[in-house]
A and B are shown apart, each in its own frame.
Chain A
């Protein structure tokens, strides 16, 4: 396996048995100067993103924007239709009867925010993505069952096949596998 040239590799994948081991490995990889590191686990692990040194997501802001757009659209729709497009004079009551508009404004706010939250999550995660080099590693199937993986990608400036393998070995993993591109 060592003869595989590193430009044909997506990265090196180390397998761990415990979430704590993965967390420690992620922190050490970061400390050793690796930047293109990703961890894979069957459960979300607290602190893993921080250990990998990734920036917080702006999904909450995106969701807020979705809610704002939904609400504004709901209000504009009702204002336009009841005041301009189809004015209905009910005993001289005001056409712009805003309290009655609020339930639909609320519903559309929730709808807009929920759509932005879900579609935003998928888009930021780069999903749907039917294939990925990691799926070529047979043991990676266990990442959705009971094993924890750390991948140092070959595009990392500090990636040297032998040194990186030695570094991963020092973390005491269950196995180390090359990930073909």
Chain B
């Protein structure tokens, strides 16, 4: 899980040096410039949206939900891996989570931030978004608490808050390390304020560990609930292809699938650029690949069951939807989805593939695309031809749909790059714990084979 020869001091110094003393790599600047440009595209598109209206997007009746909700579900799904790695793997005592949990949590936060923007922008008048919240108002109106869309408001905002708490609590001891190791005054002050006076006393650690474990226990059912509720947004309606009891668990599996794919997409360049191969080892990548394979199979089961339900229900609209998916105007997207999410991940059965870093990176990218296509297939294909053929209509995205989509990737990457530059990307104190558990911390022992 960690290469041999590391001590408390070496892990502390190496990870904190990325933030404090290391030169910012040229590739960071290149990536940052690209991300920032995309973020500018997002801001431009958003200003145009706010001044003109949602009509700039391609969605219209009958396809009233399109890129905005596709991207919302895509991002929130990606956001699930962080909490899963942090909480579920902590409870299962999977030590390999240690090297990847910190940036997976950061990824979660930023993905949830991107996700949250879409429903807000889709409101038409985002400046009155607070109407979504229950508060006494002069209109005398209250939210409809029987609607999954209102559940979603609570689920996503709770998830964002708990993820932020989890991430920040995990950061406190590391912020103290940065405070103590910083040499520049401003860095000492900023990290000092953020560390809140953490001293690492036995009492502090005791309460800290209790709180962390409690948070993990709380976040575990939360992470399952969030995407289940997203699944219910669809399942509670009567649109063909959506009205399926399978949706909540199938959405959760898809979320973990896409989340791990995104963690892999980010971890592979990160370990390369910052020479973190000692900490994010091939074993980490291989374990993540196994999780992707398992969740990918669950998702594949979901696709199979969707087709089975359509046939077995005997409902002509459901049956037509299944045929329309496979052979209708968007068939190419459906079969690309099957290729990306079902066929390609099967390569992960082979150990040689799981040890091949460039190939893993390629597979992770393909799965990211596949999961986006899945949401397109679910949302657009179901809506564009539901019941009355007279109201059938094709959906075509506009340039602004793409501007918002790629722009949100810019927002995500900008936040992530700033995080990599200014905060420890791997949990330092947990690495020290790992050193303690594996080698005793001070003497380099003979290499271990795990």
Contact with A103, one of B154, B162, B168, B197 (Cβ below 8 angstroms): B154
Say yes or no for A12: interface residue by CB 8 A criterion: no
* A121 neighbours in B (Cβ, 8 Å): 169, 207-208, 210-211
A111-B222 Cα distance, complex, nearest whole Å:
9
Query: Nearest residue in A to B161 (C-beta to C-beta)?
Result: A111
Contact in complex: B200, A63 (CB < 8 Å): no
Beta-carbon nearest neighbor of A57 in chain B: B207
A113 within 8 A of partner (CB)? yes
CA distance A107 to B162 in the complex (A): 10
A143 in the interface, Cβ–Cβ < 8 Å?
yes
| Residues B202 and A52 in contact, CB atoms below 8 Å apart | yes
The answer to whether B205 and A45 touch across the interface, beta carbons within 8 angstroms, is yes
Q: Is B439 an interface residue when CB atoms closer than 8 A count as contact?
A: no
A interface secondary structure, majority: helix
CA gap between A97 and B232 in the complex, in Å: 17
Is B145 an interface residue when CB atoms closer than 8 A count as contact?
yes
| Beta-carbon contacts under 8 Å, B359-383 to A | none
Q: Tell me if A24 counts as interface (CB < 8 A to partner B).
A: no
Query: Complex formed: what's the CA distance from A143 to B173 in Å?
Result: 11
CB of B346, distance to nearest CB on chain A (Å): 35
- Which of A126-134, A155-163, A169-177 interfaces with chain B? A126-134
Alpha-carbon gap, A138 to B197, bound state (A):
15
CB pair A59–B207 under 8 Å, yes or no, is yes
Which chain B residues border A100 with CB–CB below 8 Å?
145-146
Complex interface: stretch among B6-14, B266-274, B334-342: B6-14
Let me know if A78 is at the binding interface, CB within 8 A.
yes
Give the complex CA separation of A143 and B9 in angstroms. 11
A-B contact pairs, 24 of them (CB 8 A): A39-B202, A40-B200, A40-B202, A41-B200, A42-B200, A42-B429, A43-B433, A44-B433, A45-B205, A48-B206, A63-B214, A81-B142, A97-B146, A103-B151, A121-B208, A125-B204, A125-B207, A128-B196, A128-B197, A130-B192, A131-B197, A145-B180, A146-B7, A146-B442
| CB proximity of A88 to chain B, nearest CB, Å | 7
Interchain CB contact under 8 A, A38 and B203: yes
- Residue of B173, B201, B207 near A38 (CB, 8 A) is B201
Q: Is the CB of B214 within 8 A of A59?
A: yes
Nearest-Cβ distance from residue B84 to partner chain A, whole angstroms? 15
Interface of B is mostly: helix
Contact of B78 with A by CB under 8 A: no
Top 8 closest pairs, chain A to chain B, by CB: A128-B196, A146-B8, A129-B197, A121-B211, A44-B205, A141-B180, A81-B142, A100-B146
- Residue B198 contacts which of A81, A97, A107, A127 (CB distance < 8 angstroms)? A127
Q: Which residues of B contact A134 (CB under 8 A)?
A: 199
Total residues of chain A contacting the partner, CB 8 A: 62
Total of A-B residue pairs, C-beta within 8 Å: 193
B165 proximity list for chain A (CB < 8 A)? 114-115, 118
How far apart are B233's CB and chain A's nearest CB, in angstroms? 11
Question: Shortest beta-carbon distance, B220 to chain A, in Å?
Answer: 10
Residues of A within 8 A of B219 (CB): 110, 114
- Give complex CA distance A49, B209 in Å: 12
Interface presence of B225 (CB below 8 A): yes
- Taking a contact as CB atoms under 8 Å apart, the answer to whether A127 and B210 are in contact is no
**Does any Cβ of A come within 8 Å of B229's Cβ?**
yes
- A44 and B162: CB pair below 8 A? no
CA–CA, A128 and B179, complex, Å? 14
Contact partner, B199, options A40, A63, A77, A115, Cβ 8 Å? A40
Residue in B closest to A52 when the chains form the complex, CB atoms: B202
Nearest residue in A to B433 (C-beta to C-beta)? A43
- The answer on a CB contact under 8 Å between A114 and B206 is no
A120 sits at the interface (CB 8 A)? yes
Closest to A64 in B: B214
Considering the complex, which residues of chain A in the window 100-154 have a beta carbon less than 8 Å from any beta carbon of chain B? 100-101, 103-104, 106-108, 110-111, 113-115, 117-118, 120-122, 124-125, 127-132, 134-135, 141-146
Given known pairs A118-B211, A146-B12, the reply for A78 and B200 (CB within 8 Å) is: no
Q: Provided the pairs A57-B210, A127-B196, A145-B8 are in contact, do residues A107 and B158 lie with their beta carbons within 8 angstroms?
A: yes
How far is the CB of B431 from the nearest CB of chain A, in Å?
10
CB 8 Å contact bits of A24-43 with B (1 = contact, 0 = none):
00100000000000111111
CB pair B206 A49 closer than 8 Å: yes
Bound complex: CA A126 to CA B206 (Å): 13
